[in-house]
Structure 1
Amino acid sequence: MKNGQISIKEIARLSGVSVATVSRVINDNGRFSNETRDKVLKIIQEHQYETNSIAKSLRMNKSQTIGVLVPDISNEFFAAVVLEIESFFFEEGYSTIICNTAKDAKKEKEYLKTLDGKMVDGLVCISGQEEVPTDILKRKVPTVCIDRRPKMDTNVAFVESDHYEGGRLATHKLIEKGCAEIVLLTKKNNLSSVNERLKGYKDALAGAGLPVKDERIVYTDPKKSSLEAAKEAIQGLVDAGVPFDGIFATNDWLALGALLFIQETGYKVPEQVKIVGFDNNLISQYCDPPITTINQDKASLANKACRILLDMIDGVPGSIERHQIVPVSLVERKTT
Structure 2
Amino acid sequence: MDKKNLSIKEIAEISGVSVATVSRVINQNGRFSKETEKKVLEVIKSNNYKTNLVAKSLRMQQTNTIGVIVPDIKNEFFASIVSEIEEYFFEEENYTVFICNSNGEKGKELDYLASLDSKGVDGLIYISGYDDTLHTSVRRNIPVVCIDRKPKENKEIAIIESDNLEGGYQATSLLIEKGCENIVVLKSEKETSTNIDRFEGYRKAIEEYNMSLNEELIINLKKTHFDYAKDAINKLLEKNIKFDGIFAVNDWLALGALYSLKDNNFKISEDVKIVGFDNVSISKYSYPNITTINQNKKLMGRTAAKTLLDLINNKQTKNNIHIKLPINKIYRGTT
TM-score (normalised: structure 1): 0.87
Taking the aligned partners of 1:328 and 1:246, their CA distance within structure 2 comes to: 21
1:247 equivalent in alignment to 2:246? yes
Taking the aligned partners of 1:164 and 1:39, their CA distance within structure 2 comes to: 48
Taking the aligned partners of 1:168 and 1:46, their CA distance within structure 2 comes to: 52
Taking the aligned partners of 2:45 and 2:291, their CA distance within structure 1 comes to: 54
Q: Which residue of 2 aligns with 1:142?
A: 143
Contact 1:202 1:212 in 2 (8 A): yes
CA pair 76-13 structure 1, distance change in 2 beyond 3 A: closer
Secondary structure of 1:235's partner? helix
Q: Which runs of 5+ in 1 are unaligned?
A: none
Contact 1:22 1:40 in 2 (8 A): yes
Contact 2:132 2:153 in 1 (8 A): no
The number of aligned residues is: 331
Taking the aligned partners of 1:160 and 1:33, their CA distance within structure 2 comes to: 36
CA pair 155-7 structure 1, distance change in 2 beyond 3 A: same
Instruction: Give how far 1:173 is off.
Output: 0.7
Worse-superposed segment, 131-140 or 281-290: 131-140
Q: Which residue of 2 aligns with 1:59?
A: 59
CA pair 7-216 structure 1, distance change in 2 beyond 3 A: same
Taking the aligned partners of 2:275 and 2:326, their CA distance within structure 1 comes to: 18
Secondary structure of 1:266's partner? coil
Instruction: Give how far 1:147 is off.
Output: 0.7
Taking the aligned partners of 2:217 and 2:262, their CA distance within structure 1 comes to: 20
Secondary structure of 1:278's partner? strand
Instruction: Give the partner amino acid of 2:334.
Output: T
Identity percentage of aligned residues: 49
Instruction: Give the partner amino acid of 1:102.
Output: N
Taking the aligned partners of 1:293 and 1:76, their CA distance within structure 2 comes to: 15
Taking the aligned partners of 1:299 and 1:129, their CA distance within structure 2 comes to: 22
What root-mean-square deviation, in Å, do the aligned CA atoms of Structure 1 and Structure 2 show? 3.2
CA pair 207-56 structure 1, distance change in 2 beyond 3 A: same
Equivalence map 1:52-131=2 (5 Å): 52-90=52-90, 91-131=92-132
Deviations along 1:72-96, one digit per CA (max 9) or x if unpaired, are 0111110111111112223122221
Q: Which runs of 5+ in 2 are unaligned?
A: none
Contact 1:104 1:128 in 2 (8 A): no
Q: Which residue of 1 aligns with 2:284?
A: 285
1:177 equivalent in alignment to 2:164? no
Deviations along 1:293-331, one digit per CA (max 9) or x if unpaired, are 100111222222222212211112578641111111111
Equivalence map 1:209-220=2 (5 Å): 209-220=210-221
Contact 1:126 1:148 in 2 (8 A): yes
Instruction: Give how far 1:14 is off.
Output: 11
TM-score (normalised: structure 2): 0.87
Larger Rg: 1
